[in-house]
A and B are shown apart, each in its own frame.
Chain A
Amino acid sequence: MLKLRTHLRSAVVRKTLAFGLPIALILSILATGAWLRAQDRTTFQVRVDMVVLGFTVTDQKGHYVNGLKPADFRVFEDDIQEKVATFAEGSRPPMEVLANGELRPIRKPEGGDQEEIGAGTVDLRNSSTGTNVFVLFDTSNYMYRGFVYASDAIADFIRGLDRTDSVAVYTYSRNLNRAVPLNRDRMTAIQGLRHAVAGDDSALYNSLLLTLRDAAKVPGRKVVIVFSNGPDNASMVAPDDVRAVAEDEGIPIYVISTSEVTRDPISTNIFKRISTNTGGKSYFAKTWQKQVEAFESIREDLGNSYTVTYYPRPNPNEGFRSIRIELTSEGMKKYKIRARPGYRPQRTF
């Protein structure tokens, strides 16, 4: 675990350098941090590094709109227009956005960390392309009857992921089980999935929180896909508090519920809310066929979405910062944009 953290840390730092943040500024931030610590041991400040923002654009008929360029949209944070640093469409590699709006490939850092990582494991330091997909599979008693069909549907989904995507398979009942860490080897992922053990109680929101915490450590674009039939009889955290973590970290949550929409209105509302507010989607798919269709829809969503990054301009707001994306062309004004509504900057001391 410690080793992984080291990788992640070096990934973040290197990525920051690659995106062109002046070294002097980094040093100044570090120096400021040290000064703050010396001044007051317990005063918290907000800190925002890079913001990763994923969104999809659909036309009036619900079809995805592809081929947009950075000049086609503007990103606002609390009505402050932000300068987009990188841009990517679907699973294509992100490109650096130049001052004139043109794109160019991101420069790879020279040299690099020579530490070896396990065979078959994704080198997160270089995972700038594709999406990091975390599948969270309910193996509690509530899923007993649909367990094997769900397993089939998830296996199909994993097989069909873009080759640049990475996938982690987590299962949960009362506790989370990290069956397969983030990986690009589909066979390994399916092996882990097929090795899942059916459990007892269901702690969906506890487990979703832990999954989000893991996902937050991974650089680049990431999504969490929850496959559950809804009930939770063991969590200590509320769905909306978990949703806030996903919002803040910029991780869309997709939910595939094996329950009917009308069967459990509470879970239905929650699923809709946590997916919509994080830029994801919810599906109610009781049959295997519907589940396969839901996964197909998620795959499409991933393949047709845009991902931009930016470093927020100075903003005195330390609370919730709303995010707005505007399409610049009049002809596009009627298009619908789906993205997370905002985030709360991280507090640190």
Chain B
Amino acid sequence: MGAASVGNVPPEVAERESAGDLAGARSLLEQEARSNDASATASLAVFLDRHHETGRRDALLKWAEFEKDPARRSLALRQAVLTDFMDGKSVELTQDLNAYRAAGGQDFALPPKTAGKPYSTILIPGPLSSFARMAAVTPDVEPEDLLPAFARTVVTNGYQASGNELLQQTEYLKLVIRYLGQARELQGLANANHQIVIPTCDSEQTGNLLKILGYRMRGSCGADISLETVNPTRAFITIDSGFPLSDLERDLRGNHRFELPYAPTPMPVLYDAKYWLAASGKAAEHVDFIETFASDPGLCRLYLGLSHLDHATAEILKAQMPAEKMRIYAAILDFYGSMFQVRNGAAVVPGSPKAWGSLAGASPSSPGPFFEHLLMTDDGWLAGYFDALTRLGDGPTRNYLTDSEHLRRFYEALRGRITSPGPARPVFRATSDLLLLTTSLRMDKDGTPHIPGNLDVWRTLFAKHPHGKYDARLSKSAPGWRSKDDLLEGLFALSRKTADNEPLKVFLALNDIDRDRSKPLSADTAARLIADYRQFGSQYRLFADTPALSEASMLHYLDFCKSTMEIRDTLLRSDVVGSAQAVVEIWNILSGRGAIPVADQDSSFAAVVEAFGRVHAPGDLMGAARTSLDDLFKAAGDTNHGGRQDRLVELLVGQIHSGIEGIPSPGERFVRMFDAQALIPIDYLLAAADHSGKAALDPKAVKNMNDQIERLRENETLHGSLSAEEKNLYGGSYWSARHVALERKFDLETMAKNPDKRESHAVLAALLRDSLVGMVYCYYAPPGSQIMLTNPLFVRSHDFVGLEGAPAYWAATDVSNSGWPASAGGRLYGSLVSVPYVLAQAEQNFMTPRREQALIWSDLVPQMVIGVTIPRWRNVLPTQLRWVSLHIERGKTLIAAAGLDSKLMPDVMDALGRHLAPGEVDRVRLRLLAQDFQGAISQVPPAIFYAISEDPSLAAVSPDVASMEIAALASANRPELTEAAIARAFGTPKPTLTHSYKPALLYVRTFPALMGFSSRILAETWESNNLYYAALADEAGIPAAALDTYVPEWNRSAIENIYAANLEDWPALIRSLNVTASGVLHRTSGVTQQASAEGFRN
């Protein structure tokens, strides 16, 4: 069938579909299909299938009925079978499977029933919802995931070191254990039907129940009684566990019978309780399982370790090591065991089995002893190394690192001579740098690592260590380095240290600058970048964002950065730095979006920076900004002659007013925030500088300037009533305060009369800086930013100066003063280079979780926010939405096909295994065999559906409607559908992983939780949201042009619906996306008729 589309879509149908009129499109298709023409019935079936609308199975069967071409008929029936399997409709599945086989289909059969993992059941006292609240786990997880979720929370939050280095239970765990006791007492009150019954207010049971709950009645039975606390410890647990106290009170008041089901909750336990209690050295008959479990963090980690593994591997390990022994190494198994896998009777290893046998002291051909040795050798370093290398996909990096010689050499460097403490000792993995190094290492065409510059510049860094010694041994050995391997060995050696690993950071930053450059950095430039890293390293993101920048422009920029530090007037320096950074950031936004053509990026960057390099006095800044902005407009092809302010706003966010009712457009949001910050349009300031007075100014400009300055003065009055204590503690930066104070003095009349223009220009320069910086803030602020709308000094308080001895001018952006009532509110300091992330971070606590647990992942949420605020969805095309939607559908149907086709199963599982851990793949396989498709995909991130649909090994197998539609689109060679274009539209920025805010899709395995700020990296490896939103938009028929308004709302909803058990609880994110999709599909259901939310859900 080549690359032809499956159904011919008449132009008017396509038009309605892309305009969001799905009902109209369907109606037209149904009309056509009444003719019983095969092509028309196919078009309708494909349309309904794509939008997961009701009636899609019937439409597929009708297509099959009227289709003359046997191959297409088979395709229609096959699609019906896949649809039945995905929807879990077993009766229809059997019918359609028979029809498909009768039509010649040979590949599908119902999977044989296969036993899953061996679980037994324990009972925990009380209802699940109460336990989940107290244990801080989500009850939304699948039953077998409850105990691992609880185990992870116990490990991370249940214990703290006490003075004598012993672990002490935290208040959290004490409350859980107290709750279990109270729940057991309540269970004792329940009758044989597991119900607590209080027949009347004055019954004996009332007193018994209230005593357990820690309450008593105030007043005698009747309408006026209320319950009040008598035992605060018990009462706290009563409330915190969600006991329906108000229902009890209501029934007591009305003297009604109170009934509450209070049965113990069955909880699946891997293997059986005896196995785990034996590991803990306890006899099963004498202890309560859940309390023993919670009281033994080592046991919790062993449970986590074994539950990560696939069933076969876990059995081998269990047979090899008694539980008591394995518990000793449980932390290593928990952190580094998830990639353990056995295939064809041997352990799967990255590289040569012989080399691994030599390192571990046991051959991978005997997986039990091999894994045992991995766990027991060197306190976890070898296991951590194994884990990092196994996570790598096939390719030159893996080939290089797992080459026998490198394998041993780098391992020895990593392990060092003293192995204790190992990397699994802390609560989070201490191998962040190792994972970063192995994941981010780039290879040259000759299969060797890419070394920015040359070896010599790195040798100099280690040997001469301009900023202080990193490692005495490396400093000594560095002058003798002869090959790239020597440098890599040094980087591996530093990766074991918990201290700041600056050389690795510099190495990875320069690698990322080099990533997309047509010509790699020269040695001289690399040397300069290395030398300047500590002072200006955070700015290198600009170089990585735009590979078209020449080395001369980069060096020129660094010269400019340096030159600003020579401006003696601190206020002027911060105005120059702030203004220049703002215009450069706007240039960066426009370049990243393609508004400035690649060919002009270098020259325009140089021009933008050059203008600010000539500023020596406040008056110069106005001219510099004007020149710089005009260069920017020219580069962006903006030939309008209107005001600079409006032109800039439109370049950044498009038309200010949108036609979508109820949701402010990005332009409206921008303008509101700009005004809320009392900022003055740039044109007015430039005009004021030209005329140095009011006389020649537009009255509108005069009014605006006077109004905004008046608002600043009013704000001073607002904070003027502070008490003496507050004034003493008032947390403001000295220089920011002076900056704002200067602006408050601004007066057009005085300016006109004063012959000395220097003072006027100083104020205008300050105001101009704020307006330019405000542009950047308004652009990146998340929709509905409360800080921007509430604190009118937020932009003006940006502190570029920093603390004495620690200048912030060119440092990464950060937040200060949050949570300090005596302050003027939180503010940002440092340069503007990481404003997108930090603004999102500052706003995250304004999110309102929809569920009980206010557990918003502090590193994930800002990352999710910038995943939308940076790509913006402005230039997304309908074909791109369709492309993503089809790929995600193709990924799902491949998995469904694997469940029905035993020959296909290994290939699909292998493809999944390139992105998921073996235990996760095994889970998919077992669910498919149990004919539970929704269960199989419930924990597969949407990005993985996309990735496997692009997997070359699956390109030619199992053709379905989605794959044929993809082929039809691909055959047109559309530029918007290239890998790069899709990544640009739907990728996510990865500022810590790639040193760039450029959206990208890397499809790396999601990182585990790591120590330190590396949990940001964990968040950056989650790439699914935008792909999910794109597919959702296509399914719900949302026009592409409206997405920059809708997607931020969806994203907020997805964040607020997260109900996660722990940092690595990615399934919680999938669930929250599904809840959001349900809401969107429900709202658009009037348009899409009966589009089924379930159809979209994973």
Contact = CB atoms under 8 A, between A and B. Distances in A.
A175 B240 contact: no
Interface SS of chain B: helix, strand, loop or mixed?
helix
A267 B821 contact: yes
Interface string B678-716: 000100000000000000000010001001001100100
B246 A187 contact: yes
A69 B846 CA distance: 43
B208 interface: no
Given A174-B845, A200-B854, A203-B845, A236 B787 contact: yes
Interface residues of A, number: 71
Contacts of A202: 819
Given A201-B819, A205-B821, A347-B675, A238 B791 contact: yes
Contacts of A232: 819-821
Contacts of A42: 645-646, 649, 656, 671, 674-675, 681
A10 interface: no
A147 B818 contact: no
Most buried by A among B227, B674, B791, B854: B854
Interface stretch (A82-90, A152-160, A332-340): A152-160
Interface stretch (B229-237, B971-979, B1022-1030): B229-237
Nearest to B841: A236
Interface in A138-163: 144-145, 147-149, 151-152, 155-156, 159
A5 B662 CA distance: 8
Interface stretch (B80-88, B137-145, B717-725): B717-725
Nearest to A5: B662
Given A177-B854, A236-B825, A319 B845 contact: no
A48 interface: no
B531 interface: no
B843 A174 contact: no
A148 B246 contact: no
Interface in B648-693: 649, 656-657, 662, 671-672, 674-676, 681
A311 interface: no
B239 A194 contact: yes
Contact of A148 (B232, B242, B790, B845): B232
Contact of B725 (A40, A144, A235, A269): A269
B826 A237 contact: yes
Interface string B805-833: 00000000001001111111110000000
A55 B232 CA distance: 38
A198 interface: yes
Interface stretch (A18-26, A127-135, A216-224, A240-248): A240-248
Given A177-B848, A187-B250, A233 B819 contact: yes
B721 A273 contact: yes
Contacts of A159: 226
B786 A210 contact: yes
A229 interface: no
Interface string B827-857: 0000000000000001101111100111010
A197 B853 contact: yes
A334 B1080 CA distance: 59
Contacts of A191: 244, 246-247
A270 B846 CA distance: 21
Interface string A256-288: 000000000111011001000000000000000
B239 A148 contact: yes
B845 A152 contact: no
Given A206-B786, A235-B818, A176 B239 contact: no
Given A265-B723, A319-B710, A235 B656 contact: no
B856 A237 contact: no
A73 B138 CA distance: 57
Interface in A164-211: 173-178, 187, 190-191, 193-206, 209-210
Contacts of B824: 238
Nearest to B668: A349
A238 B822 CA distance: 8
B500 interface: no
Nearest to B171: A144
Nearest to A273: B721
B729 interface: yes
Contacts of B413: none
A175 B692 CA distance: 48
A349 B670 CA distance: 12
A241 B787 CA distance: 10
B725 A175 contact: no
A344 interface: yes
Contacts of A326: none
A2 to B, nearest CB: 5
A151 B239 contact: yes
Nearest to B650: A41
B707 A236 contact: no
A344 B717 CA distance: 13
Contacts of A233: 819
A213 B786 CA distance: 10
Nearest to B846: A206
Contacts of A244: 718
B845 A44 contact: no
B726 interface: yes
B228 interface: yes
Nearest to B667: A41
B575 to A, nearest CB: 24
Given A197-B240, A201-B819, A206-B786, A177 B826 contact: no
Given A147-B239, A237-B826, A241-B718, A210 B821 contact: no
A236 B671 contact: no
A130 to B, nearest CB: 22
A159 B249 CA distance: 12
A239 interface: yes
A318 interface: yes
A178 B848 contact: yes
B226 A155 contact: yes
B707 A318 contact: yes
B606 to A, nearest CB: 31
B819 A234 contact: yes
B355 to A, nearest CB: 47
B247 A149 contact: no
Interface in A33-60: 37, 40-44
A234 B725 contact: no
A344 B711 CA distance: 10
B229 A194 contact: no
B968 interface: no
A189 B244 CA distance: 13
B821 A196 contact: no
B133 interface: yes
A265 B710 CA distance: 31
B1004 to A, nearest CB: 30
A194 B711 contact: no
Contact of B790 (A200, A201, A245, A269): A245
B842 A236 contact: yes
A175 B849 contact: yes
Given A241-B790, A320-B714, 15 more contacts: A42-B674, A148-B236, A176-B848, A191-B244, A191-B246, A194-B239, A197-B133, A235-B821, A235-B845, A239-B821, A240-B719, A266-B822, A318-B707, A318-B710, A319-B707
Interface of B: 133, 214, 226-229, 232, 235-236, 239-240, 242, 244-247, 249-250, 645-646, 649, 656-657, 662, 671-672, 674-676, 681, 700, 704, 707, 710-711, 714, 717-719, 721-723, 725-726, 729, 786-787, 790-792, 815, 818-826, 842-843, 845-849, 852-854, 856, 1083
Closest 6 CB pairs of A and B: A238-B825, A236-B826, A233-B819, A148-B235, A269-B723, A191-B246
9 contacts: A6-B662, A203-B845, A210-B848, A234-B819, A236-B843, A245-B790, A266-B729, A269-B726, A270-B821
Interface of A: 2, 5-6, 37, 40-44, 144-145, 147-149, 151-152, 155-156, 159, 173-178, 187, 190-191, 193-206, 209-210, 213, 232-245, 265-267, 269-270, 273, 318-320, 344, 347, 349
